[in-house]
A and B are shown apart, each in its own frame.
Chain A
Amino acid sequence: MQKEAAIREPLILGDKSYKDITDDVVGPIEGPAPIGWKIMITISSIVAVYGVGSILYLLGTGIGVWGLNKTVGWAWDITNFVWWVGIGHAGTLISAVLLLFRQKWRMAINRSAEAMTIFAVIMAAIFPGIHMGRIWVSYWVLPLPNQFGSLWVNFNSPLLWDVFAISTYFSVSLVFWYIGLIPDFATIRDRMTKPLSKKIYGLLSFGWSGRAKHWNRFEEVSLVLAGIATPLVFSVHSIVSMDFATSIVPGWHTTIFPPYFVSGAVFSGFAMVQTLLLIMRKGMKLENYIHVKHVEYMNIVIIVTGSIVGVAYLTELFISWYSGVEYESYAFINRFSGPYSWAYWIMMTCNVISPQLFWFKKIRRSLIATFVLSIVVNIGMWFERYVIIVTSVHRDYDPSSWGEFHPTSVDVGVFIGTLGIFFTLFLGFARFFPVLALNELKTILKSSGENFKKKQANH
């Protein structure tokens, strides 16, 4: 059994036994749905239905229902795509990278972070699909054998790399998440009394019996998947950034993009995890498992990645001036002083200035402050993508085509709608899935649990 220094803050508070953990996690699944959950899922599903309606209207009528035009060919669609993919970064980072680094505090958050990843990637995947003029032939982006004179895809195109990157990331994340869920599903199955629920959880748990051999394989598979997932954390957003970096649009054509995008993604992913978990721990009474220390750890990640992003912003500005390229330097001057400078300054405030507040321990450990700042960061990161995409193309090389972008209600509807779908899925997850990796948590109960730490101190 692993030992841990007593002076380290405990990861599980209160006088918890193994059974308590099971009760705390599985209890909400067994009991009736709380009123708060019902209200939230009603609101989010109404929003989701509105979003689906907006999407259907878009698909039925044409991309013209958005505010795009001949100059600005991408705006909210790709902004939302990159934003959601970015959010989808935290889950895999937490479960894979932190697993490899043996950060035990991840156990309290990895399950929901991974769920968030899956749902966020699904939301992200909606946008490249619906932003196409002809979604009904979207399968042409796959290198499938075909009867069109064996017409092949264009491997030069970063959009194609995107297809591979996103689909790989999604499938690996999904498998990783599901593998982790298997023992916990088995625990639920064992406690279920209603035959239907028992059957369903039985199916979901793949006949897990908790034998040593199962645990051994579980551990091994987790490690292997963590090994596979880790490079993906970096590849996905690097590749997404190449949509821009490989183009010739001033403001997009920037070699700094891959690391800049990855850290931005982790930054926004952790912010979203904070937003979700702070609500969930309250609603599901998980304060003992997800407590201030966890929040603080995540806030530290936010400071680090936020600072990287800030440095990247300043580097871009410097290089645009240093390059001496007229178009390049104008693109950045236009960013901070042109018609969309308000978006730039929102981005700068939210992403560069606000996370620096976490240097103060008081703020870092304040749940209210964290919640507010996590939302601020998410807003900032949305604007980052908006700034990159819209302000670069709206005034690029040929001034005769300089234009503006104004979103329509359908732009807004689709974006809000994906938020609705996302929260509906996440609330469904919170209701029917073990929201904490309870079996994994049990492994640290005797090393990092508060009561055991106390006992240790008393010895």
Chain B
Amino acid sequence: MANTKRYWSGLDELQETEAFKTIQEQEFPGAQSVDEFLTDDRLESTHTGRRDFLKFMGFSLTAATLVACETPVIKSIPYTNKPEEITPGVANHYASTYYDGQDYVNVLVKTREGRPIFVKSNAQTGVGRVNARVNASVLSLYDSARLTAPQVDGADSDWATVDQRVSTAMAKEGRKVLLTNTVLSPSLKRAIATTGLEHVQYDAIDYSAFVKASEMNFGVATFPSFKFDAATAIVTIGADFLGTFGDSVYYAENWAKNRKPENGSMSRMHAFETNMSLTGSNSDYRTMVKPSEQGKVATALLQAITGQGGSSSLPEAVQAAVASAAQDLKKAGSKGLVLAGSNELDVQRVVNAINSALGSVGTTVTYDGTDLFKGSAGAVQSLTADMQNGGIEMLIIADCNPAYDAPDADKFVAALAKVNTTVSTSMFNDETASRCSIIAPTHHWLESWGDLAIDRYRIDLVQPTISPLHASRGWGESLLTWTGNAVDWYTFVRQTHASDYTSEAMYTNADWNKSVHNGFLGWNEQVPETPAYRSEGVADAVGRLNSQVGGTFELALYQKTTMGAGQHAANPMLQETPDPLTKVTWDNYVTMSHADVDAMGLNGFIGQEKPASVVKVTLNGASLELPVFPMPGQAPGTIGIALGYGRGANGETIGKAAFQTGENGSFLTDSEGQMVPVGKNVHPWMNVSQGMSHTHQFDVQVESTGGEYALACTQIQNTFMGRDSIVKETDFTSFFAERNADKGEASWNKVIKLAVHEDVNGDGIINAQDAKPAEAFDLWHEHAVENVGHRWGMAIDLTTCTGCSACVTACHIENNVPVVGKDEVRRHRDMHWMRIDRFFASDYSLERGEEEGESVIGTYRKMEDPSGNPQTVHMPMMCQHCNHAPCETVCPVAATTHSNEGLNQMTYNRCIGTRYCANNCPYKVRRFNWFNYPGYKKFANFNPAQDSLMRMVLNPDVTVRSRGVMEKCSMCVQRLQAGKLEAKKVGAPLVDGSVVTACAEACPTHAITFGDLNDTKSSARLTSENNRAYHALEEVGVKPNIFYMTKVRNVEPTQA
């Protein structure tokens, strides 16, 4: 049927009048020329009132103003040809390997839109666990201080000029030397071999005594491999193997395998050390010894086990500790492990003697040829001497910074001037590069291809995750170019492993592609060999060690867990990550025992406005002024100073974060206008003798200068004031006795009950015994999260948490947590979402106060003081995602609310910044944006978000918060959402372990278990039901989704 309906807009249209037709023909009816309009006489009779005039004027003004407010245009350029594997918004992960001369670990690199933004352990196909240093190292890729082009004689140049200059020098007669750290790459080794350069290796931290002792005692010149998972008794003499010693990325995970009380047994660890180290703080028995006594502890152990250690003069308490350690070692037999951190040949030989006497060689310590630490301090010393004599024509320096960390660095610097051609391949114009005539900057490891072989068992691969940001070139390729063998480095690497490789096979070799995907190339079965022990020279070593004596003060240099030997000095995130023991950021300092601090009249408490006292430390005539941190557990009569600081002392451009900034954020300068580096360099104080360099000095002078210096600590309170609902701990024997107790019943994890006014126990009397568990009290309605959908939660095992802070940096990078600098940290304004509370034990308790008749006030005051050699608890603390969150009820605008997945979520957009939530948080985990960190000038010199290049490291999935809003742990909600979407796409329920928070993922010891508490089979749920699980501050009744696991120490019951 035809449609006869007709629509019309007015009678004129219906009737089709003439007037309507004319109007309809004109597109703009009533158009009139301006002349016509202005000459219209009728205009004069019209009237524009005052009000109309004002209205028009107001409108025009507003319109004009609004036009002036131009919205900034941020251009985003779409892919013209989208790379096949990149989907904007979806992360890609690439397997690679990290090696910086100290840490060697298989990693996965997360990239977003082609930018590497996160480095984590390659848990599936790799070995080793990423630590805080490796984790944060991704920032160095984007350091704006990196050289953008090669330099010749201090000026920017180009590669042609550089190649020409170096090739000419190469062709000259005379000794030509390549100085590197320990080279592990087969391709680099092959490249070096083709050049005919003399190759000298040294390591920033020298381990040559270990290698030499292995050679002498076992005939294998190698750094020992320690198998902590096989050890049931561990004695460490100053080796901080959980923090920085040796190949530490492998140790923590293995060590933790024997620290799970549920297994029915735990390894027992004795630590004899000078400084309070991460390892010592995690040991069961810790004994303070001076550096000069460390060797004697080794000989005394040898004496106790074999009777060949001679007699020494150890204090009685140390002797008793040695006896107890020896007893445990004997009990463990071949499962005992002794290691010493000192790079003294004598000490290592004695340690080898003990281990072989125990029969542990081959079980807990093996000598199967790791290639790590092949450098030698002696080699660089003789090189320096040769340079000084003018015997070196040319020196190429790669992957090391000898002007800063070589033994006798000042001599090296002086000798460098005598070398005709000096070439540095540093990425930065650093201490060494700035003194070289030519700088040929190498790639960052995230930009380069490579291969690495830590031992003869496997070859790991390094693959680029971004094309080089600057005009850099890998130094292996440079070497080849300079010797006239120019070949593409990728081809060269491939040819190292398959000599018949040609570029046609680039994409077709499935095996290679799989290897790149997995991050390793070859994998040979390990063939443990037990080399025969030769007790060469042990008796002499014992004699020498037993006669070591120290002065009034002895010095033990150490590396901070967060900083290493100095290669990360310009990394703002690592600078801001507090040292796990002192909780100091952005500085190195002298650690001194409280007894010595008091005796010298120095400041014993460092607070916001209570600066540290400055002392002058003198060694062999050279002196340094450093602030003093009163350190519980520091052996009296000793001091410790961290290596790795004082980089860029001559204003070298190694990165902005390496320099101190003042209260307004501008760089501090000294009297000569030079920028002041963070901390002081103590590498020159390494004890170098017989071509080996170690960290002990047996006689230093310490005197007070009367000066003061502010230190920035994230935690100023040392003890937990007997608040055992925060920290629960017990000893292994007590644990074992009640290992099958129901949750909440064991004496070491009793549920907290609150007394009520009703007859709960039915004895007819209402008294203090009538109590209900804290969980039974509810002021608010329950959030419906239990058994509905997901309920995210965590269980954190205080027994295996070592305090290493890998979780802190992982969280920092994952969540774009702002770096706020020293001055703000000092003002207690650090922004870490994830922090690790470090509690030292106190000698005093309320019970003891009562026994001794001390007043309550006096008791509490004494409880604030830590013991001289305290037990330590490391307690990771982040938002507890309370189901009755006190922060949620007090927010006037409902900016923080509870999700139906049990998350306490923070809506930045809605936050008006009253900080009421932070005040009301019993765990004090909320962090306020006091300033506009991504924009305010105070943070310009260290906040990554303010650096146009380093900004690239920010995680695009996480908002960069503006000033005035509160922030806190979100339980990596961006990861949870992504994981749920993945599961939705697959159409299957979320699998336990498929989503994991950054902290849980980073934890080397797997102390953090994350998962869905509503999933009855999830490991988080199972862990939370363990009888060691408890809620911190349970009696407050906030019902957190985070559980802690009672800390179990493997000590005798009386000492828990």
- Interface set of A (CB-CB < 8 Å, partner B): 61-64, 67-74, 128, 131-134, 137-138, 140-141, 148, 151-154, 156-160, 163, 243, 246-249, 326-327, 330, 333-334, 337, 393, 396-404, 406
Known contacts A160-B892, A403-B828: does B912 contact A330 (CB below 8 Å)? no
In the complex, what residue of chain A is closest to B609 when comparing beta carbons?
Answer: A406
Q: Which residues of chain B have C-beta atoms less than 8 A from A243's C-beta?
A: 916
User: Can you name 24 A-B pairs with beta carbons within 8 Å?
Assistant: A62-B929, A63-B915, A64-B829, A68-B930, A69-B608, A70-B829, A70-B924, A71-B828, A73-B918, A74-B919, A131-B915, A132-B964, A133-B911, A133-B964, A134-B965, A140-B910, A153-B893, A157-B891, A157-B892, A157-B916, A243-B916, A399-B721, A399-B839, A406-B608
In the complex, what residue of chain B is closest to A248 when comparing beta carbons?
Answer: B886
In the complex, what residue of chain B is closest to A141 when comparing beta carbons?
Answer: B892
Known contacts A337-B857, A398-B837: does B919 contact A393 (CB below 8 Å)? yes
Q: Taking the complex as formed, is B716 at the interface, i.e. its CB lies under 8 A from any CB of chain A?
A: yes
B:706-729 near A, CB below 8 Å: 715-717, 719-721, 723, 726
Interface string of B902-940 (1 = CB under 8 A from A): 000000001111111011101110111111100010000
Interface centre among A70, A74, A327, A397 (most CB of B within 10 A): A70
Bound form: Cα–Cα A398–B723 in Å: 8
Cβ–Cβ contact B893 & A141, under 8 A: yes
Q: Which of B716, B723, B838 contacts A326 (CB 8 A)?
A: B723
Q: Which residues of chain A have C-beta atoms less than 8 A from B877's C-beta?
A: 398, 400
Closest 5 CB pairs of A and B: A133-B913, A133-B964, A64-B930, A401-B924, A400-B837
Cβ–Cβ contact B914 & A330, under 8 A: no
Cβ–Cβ contact A249 & B920, under 8 A: yes
Q: Which residues of chain A have C-beta atoms less than 8 A from B928's C-beta?
A: 63, 68, 70, 73, 133
Q: Which residues of chain A have C-beta atoms less than 8 A from B913's C-beta?
A: 63, 132-134
User: Interface residue tally of chain B, by bracket?
Assistant: 35 or more
Q: Which residues of chain B have C-beta atoms less than 8 A from A396's C-beta?
A: 922, 924
Q: Which residues of chain A have C-beta atoms less than 8 A from B875's C-beta?
A: 400
Q: Taking the complex as formed, is B415 at the interface, i.e. its CB lies under 8 A from any CB of chain A?
A: no
Q: Which residues of chain B have C-beta atoms less than 8 A from A68's C-beta?
A: 915, 928, 930
Q: Which residues of chain A have C-beta atoms less than 8 A from B889's C-beta?
A: 154, 156-157, 246
Cβ–Cβ contact B1036 & A248, under 8 A: yes
Q: Which residues of chain B have C-beta atoms less than 8 A from A151's C-beta?
A: 893-894, 910
Q: Which of B719, B893, B929, B1036 contacts A399 (CB 8 A)?
A: B719
In the complex, what residue of chain A is closest to B890 when comparing beta carbons?
Answer: A157
Q: Which of A134, A330, A402, A406 contacts B717 (CB 8 A)?
A: A402
Give the interface SS of chain A, mostly helix, strand, loop or mixed: loop
Known contacts A140-B910, A326-B723, A404-B607: does B924 contact A71 (CB below 8 Å)? yes
Cβ–Cβ contact B923 & A62, under 8 A: no
Cβ–Cβ contact A154 & B893, under 8 A: yes
Cβ–Cβ contact B919 & A140, under 8 A: no
Cβ–Cβ contact A134 & B856, under 8 A: no
Q: Which residues of chain A have C-beta atoms less than 8 A from B1038's C-beta?
A: 248
Cβ–Cβ contact B1036 & A397, under 8 A: yes
Interface centre among A71, A158, A248, A327 (most CB of B within 10 A): A248
Give the interface SS of chain B, mostly helix, strand, loop or mixed: loop
Known contacts A132-B914, A160-B892, A398-B923: does B1033 contact A64 (CB below 8 Å)? no
Known contacts A134-B911, A153-B894: does B931 contact A247 (CB below 8 Å)? no
Q: Which residues of chain A have C-beta atoms less than 8 A from B430's C-beta?
A: none
Q: Taking the complex as formed, is B963 at the interface, i.e. its CB lies under 8 A from any CB of chain A?
A: yes
B:274-310 near A, CB below 8 Å: none
Q: Which residues of chain A have C-beta atoms less than 8 A from B857's C-beta?
A: 333, 337
In the complex, what residue of chain A is closest to B894 when comparing beta carbons?
Answer: A154
Q: Taking the complex as formed, is B830 at the interface, i.e. its CB lies under 8 A from any CB of chain A?
A: yes
Q: Taking the complex as formed, is B827 at the interface, i.e. its CB lies under 8 A from any CB of chain A?
A: yes
Cβ–Cβ contact B717 & A399, under 8 A: yes
Q: Which residues of chain B have C-beta atoms less than 8 A from A74's C-beta?
A: 915-916, 919
Q: Which of B607, B856, B927, B964 contacts A333 (CB 8 A)?
A: B856
Bound form: Cα–Cα A72–B1038 in Å: 21
Interface centre among B856, B861, B893 (most CB of A within 10 A): B893
In the complex, what residue of chain A is closest to B715 when comparing beta carbons?
Answer: A400
Q: Taking the complex as formed, is B824 at the interface, i.e. its CB lies under 8 A from any CB of chain A?
A: yes
Interface centre among A69, A140, A330, A337 (most CB of B within 10 A): A69
Bound form: Cα–Cα A330–B910 in Å: 36
In the complex, besides A131-B915, A159-B914, 17 extra interface pairs with C-beta distance below 8 angstroms are A63-B928, A69-B608, A69-B828, A71-B828, A74-B915, A74-B916, A132-B914, A134-B965, A154-B889, A247-B890, A247-B919, A248-B922, A248-B1036, A337-B860, A401-B923, A401-B924, A404-B828
Bound form: Cα–Cα A207–B936 in Å: 55
In the complex, what residue of chain A is closest to B724 when comparing beta carbons?
Answer: A326
Cβ–Cβ contact A330 & B892, under 8 A: no
Interface string of B747-779 (1 = CB under 8 A from A): 000000000000000000000000000000000
Bound form: Cα–Cα A154–B888 in Å: 9
Q: Which residues of chain B have C-beta atoms less than 8 A from A63's C-beta?
A: 913, 915, 928, 930, 964
Cβ–Cβ contact A403 & B716, under 8 A: yes
Shortest CB–CB separation between residue B920 and chain A, in angstroms?
A: 5
In the complex, what residue of chain B is closest to A66 when comparing beta carbons?
Answer: B930
Q: Which residues of chain B have C-beta atoms less than 8 A from A157's C-beta?
A: 889-892, 916
In the complex, what residue of chain B is closest to A156 when comparing beta carbons?
Answer: B889
Q: Which of B716, B720, B890, B929 contacts A159 (CB 8 A)?
A: B890
Shortest CB–CB separation between residue B127 and chain A, in angstroms?
A: 34
Cβ–Cβ contact A402 & B716, under 8 A: yes
Q: Which residues of chain A have C-beta atoms less than 8 A from B922's C-beta?
A: 248, 396-398
Cβ–Cβ contact A70 & B918, under 8 A: yes
Cβ–Cβ contact A70 & B723, under 8 A: no
Cβ–Cβ contact A134 & B912, under 8 A: yes
Shortest CB–CB separation between residue A423 and chain B, in angstroms?
A: 28
Bound form: Cα–Cα A310–B293 in Å: 61
Cβ–Cβ contact B716 & A140, under 8 A: no
Bound form: Cα–Cα A445–B829 in Å: 62
Cβ–Cβ contact B932 & A62, under 8 A: yes
Q: Which residues of chain A have C-beta atoms less than 8 A from B916's C-beta?
A: 73-74, 157, 159, 243, 247
Shortest CB–CB separation between residue A107 and chain B, in angstroms?
A: 40
Bound form: Cα–Cα A326–B857 in Å: 13
Shortest CB–CB separation between residue A270 and chain B, in angstroms?
A: 30
Bound form: Cα–Cα A133–B928 in Å: 9
Cβ–Cβ contact B892 & A159, under 8 A: yes
In the complex, what residue of chain A is closest to B768 when comparing beta carbons?
Answer: A324
Shortest CB–CB separation between residue B923 and chain A, in angstroms?
A: 6
Bound form: Cα–Cα A396–B910 in Å: 27
Q: Which residues of chain B have C-beta atoms less than 8 A from A159's C-beta?
A: 890-892, 914, 916
Shortest CB–CB separation between residue B858 and chain A, in angstroms?
A: 9
Q: Which of A128, A131, A330 contacts B860 (CB 8 A)?
A: A330
Bound form: Cα–Cα A400–B580 in Å: 13
Interface string of B875-893 (1 = CB under 8 A from A): 1010000000010011111
Shortest CB–CB separation between residue B469 and chain A, in angstroms?
A: 33
Cβ–Cβ contact A62 & B918, under 8 A: no
Cβ–Cβ contact A138 & B912, under 8 A: yes
Bound form: Cα–Cα A64–B818 in Å: 14
In the complex, what residue of chain B is closest to A137 when comparing beta carbons?
Answer: B912
Bound form: Cα–Cα A67–B829 in Å: 10
Bound form: Cα–Cα A214–B159 in Å: 97
Bound form: Cα–Cα A248–B774 in Å: 15
Cβ–Cβ contact B915 & A133, under 8 A: yes
Cβ–Cβ contact A140 & B837, under 8 A: no
Q: Which residues of chain B have C-beta atoms less than 8 A from A64's C-beta?
A: 824, 829, 930-931
Q: Which of A133, A397, A406 contacts B912 (CB 8 A)?
A: A133
Bound form: Cα–Cα A71–B912 in Å: 19
In the complex, what residue of chain B is closest to A70 when comparing beta carbons?
Answer: B828
Cβ–Cβ contact B892 & A153, under 8 A: yes
Q: Which residues of chain B have C-beta atoms less than 8 A from A247's C-beta?
A: 886, 890, 916, 919-920
Bound form: Cα–Cα A138–B856 in Å: 45
Interface string of B607-629 (1 = CB under 8 A from A): 11100000000000000000000
In the complex, what residue of chain A is closest to B860 when comparing beta carbons?
Answer: A333
Q: Which residues of chain A have C-beta atoms less than 8 A from B723's C-beta?
A: 326-327, 397, 399
